[in-house]
Amino acid sequence: MPRPGGNRPASERAKDFKGTIRKLIIYISHERIALIVALICAIVSVLFNVVGPRVLGQATTELFSGLMAKVAGTGSIDFQKIGMILIGLLCLYVASSCFNLLQGWLMTGITQRVCYRMRREIIEKIDRMPLSYFESNAVGDVLSRVTNDVDTLGQSLNQSVTQLITSVTQIIGVAVMMVSVSVTLAGITFLTIPLSLLLVLIVVRSSQRYFRQQQVILGRVDGIIEESFSGQNVIKVFNREQRAVADFDVENDRLYTSGWRAQFLSGIMQPLMNFVANLAYVAVVCVGSFLAVGGAVTIGDIQAFMQYVRNFTQPITQLSQVSNMLQQLSAAAERVFEFLAEDEETADAQTPELPRCRGEVTFDHVKFGYVPNKTIIHDFSCNVEPGQTVAIVGPTGAGKTTLMKLLMRFYDVNAGSIRVDGVDLRDYARGDLRENFAMVLQDTWLFKGSVRENIRYGRADATDEEVEAAARVALADHFIRTLPGGYDFELNEDASNVSQGQRQLLTIARAFIADRPILILDEATSNVDTRTEERIQRAMDALMQGRTSFVIAHRLSTIRNADVILVLRDGDIVEKGTHEELLALDGFYAELYNSQFAEGGEEE
């Protein structure tokens, strides 16, 4: 099976961490007011929490002093004072929780709005992308950017922004409180900072590339799953189930390895920081006991300081986790921004005011290649009158479908021009140009929904009566009424609950209801049996009446009645004429035609 996901190296790091974070900050700047309020709430919540241990220490000191006075017989425990201190402490913690709840509510709204906007922009971007992008990139990788990468970005953004602010605020606040309690004990605690930072740096540098690798491989895994799901019929026919699983296992193993390494390196930060915290904790207890005996600090100060030691190392651990989340954030955001920055179709022209298209099409010395220095169509010229049926035949790779892509302006010509009613295609807005075309393709595309909705896709404002009239003309009405629910019958995602011929008739009905002056039929009968082909051919003959029609066909028997047949070879017209004229020439067309019936098949 083909490998989805492009040609990225598996170990690729985030290419521009700072640049991606800068882009993300600019992207979410429209949420700055809510973001600032959320950050202020987070800071206030942390500050109230930081003051708490010092207040609790005062209660402990008051209790210890009263107890000592009671033992010495010089006083008693002042429970009223202790109660007032504890009530104040309770108010601090309640206020802290309220501000924390508010910032959580605000940040959740911010991240969800950012994700909503990002998904919307991706979908809108898809509509502006050139066809070449979809022909060269895996569907699963694009889907992964819309789903996995945006979800990862949202989750990481929600957690990392507030965690970063609260951790920094807590470190600064706790450091100030520790110095205010005891400079000596604070100095002992601060000695652990270099060790903590060194451990954080080592782990972050090691884990950074695995988070990027994880997102890239996840896109490949999604691509393989999408291919396996959509290609189950082919996989089963060729007994390739084990091969499909083996191909998936290769990428799944890589995803497991990168995910395991990323999560392991992220996970060991907590025990490492706990080890550093325990070192500081033991040192503070030992030195603090001597200071308390000497009267330099109170018992409540020692208690508060031990809490501050925990509260000091905890945000350092959180910062290490934030750094991992920021790596995930940048990896996901980079992939999303890469997609949003992809080249779009060239800018549209302003379509001149024109009457309804008559259907005259002129190819004037057209030259085109998908990539530079690889020309497919060398010098193609042809004039098609309104209402003519033009058949385009030739071997595979001759440029037949490419011509139709140029006519629909999925690509622009490299040289020469294509004109519709005398107007160069590049002078049309693409949407206005395509309003003149209807297509019936070899690969039918129908969406999950009712038969009626699928036909109405050709013209959104069509009434039920017009839908049914189009189906009758397309010879689809009879089979539709035999379906459970008739026109309200629900097609599944790939429309596999109706036959290939029935799907084709529905697409013809859709083209009928669109009522466009120019029609493109690309191998429309190649996937059906002879009897169904005859029925589809009659429906197409009705559809082509009064329209300029371009018919691409491998079965040459289906284009005998064309007004003109263009025979292409290597991107050039080698013969031109009616069916009888080309057979009389006894040239390339006659060779193609006779080769199809060499076994004694159909007669002329």
What is the average pLDDT across 503-523? 84
Q: Residue 264 has what pLDDT?
A: 82
User: pLDDT band for position 352 (50/70/90)?
Assistant: low
* The pair of three-digit structure tokens given for residue 208, joined into one six-digit string: 């950074």
Q: CA-CA distance, 97 to 479, in Å (whole number)?
A: 65
Determine contact, residues 547/519, Cβ cutoff 8 Å: yes
Q: Residue 13 has what pLDDT?
A: 45
Q: Residue 95 has what pLDDT?
A: 92
* The pair of three-digit structure tokens given for residue 266, joined into one six-digit string: 């992220």
What is the average pLDDT across 580-589? 86
Q: CA-CA distance, 461 to 458, in Å (whole number)?
A: 9
Determine contact, residues 380/548, Cβ cutoff 8 Å: no
* Burial class for 8, CB neighbours closer than 10 Å (0-12, 13-18, 19+): middle
pLDDT at residue 229 greater than cutoff 80: no
Q: Residue 5 has what pLDDT?
A: 38
State the CB neighbour count (10 A cutoff) for residue 112.
Answer: 12
Q: Residue 37 has what pLDDT?
A: 92
Rounded to 10 degrees, the C-alpha dihedral 399/403/409/413 comes to: 70
Determine contact, residues 176/165, Cβ cutoff 8 Å: no
Determine contact, residues 411/397, Cβ cutoff 8 Å: no
Mean pLDDT, the chain, whole residue set: 80
**Structural domains in the chain plus CATH codes:** 17-340 (1.20.1560.10), 386-399+432-596 (3.40.50.300)
Task: Give 312-330 pLDDT, tens digit per residue.
Answer: 777 877 776 777 778 778 8
Which letter does DSSP use for residue 376 in this model?
A: S
Task: Give 453-462 pLDDT, tens digit per residue.
Answer: 989 988 888 8
pLDDT more than 90, % of the chain? 4
Phi/psi zone of residue 6: left (φ > 0), alpha (ψ -120 to 50 degrees), beta? Answer: left
What is the average pLDDT across 9-18? 53
pLDDT at residue 557 greater than cutoff 90: no
Determine contact, residues 258/214, Cβ cutoff 8 Å: yes
State the CB neighbour count (10 A cutoff) for residue 318.
Answer: 22
Count Cα neighbours of 421 within 13 Å in the Cβ-side half-sphere: 17
Determine contact, residues 315/168, Cβ cutoff 8 Å: yes
* The pair of three-digit structure tokens given for residue 408, joined into one six-digit string: 């629909």
pLDDT at residue 364 greater than cutoff 70: yes
Distance from the first to the final alpha carbon of the chain: 42
Q: Residue 597 has what pLDDT?
A: 60
What is the average pLDDT across 401-409? 85
pLDDT at residue 186 greater than cutoff 80: yes
* Burial class for 359, CB neighbours closer than 10 Å (0-12, 13-18, 19+): buried
Task: Give 136-185 pLDDT, tens digit per residue.
Answer: 777 777 777 778 888 888 888 888 888 888 888 888 888 888 888 888 88
Across 133-142, 336-345, 363-372, 557-566, least confident range:
133-142
Q: CA-CA distance, 602 to 604, in Å (whole number)?
A: 7
User: pLDDT band for position 600 (50/70/90)?
Assistant: very low
Helix ranges (H only) for 129-149 are: 131-136, 139-144
The reported pTM is: 0.63
Q: What angle do CA 253, 256, 261 make, to 5 degrees?
A: 130
pLDDT at residue 517 greater than cutoff 50: yes
User: pLDDT band for position 236 (50/70/90)?
Assistant: confident
Q: CA-CA distance, 54 to 311, in Å (whole number)?
A: 12
Phi/psi zone of residue 76: left (φ > 0), alpha (ψ -120 to 50 degrees), beta? Answer: beta
Across 82-91, 183-192, 475-484, 578-587, least confident range:
183-192
What φ, ψ does residue 368 adopt, rounded to 5°? -160, 145
pLDDT at residue 196 greater than cutoff 80: no
The 3-class SS string of 565-581 reads EEEEECCEEEEEECHHH
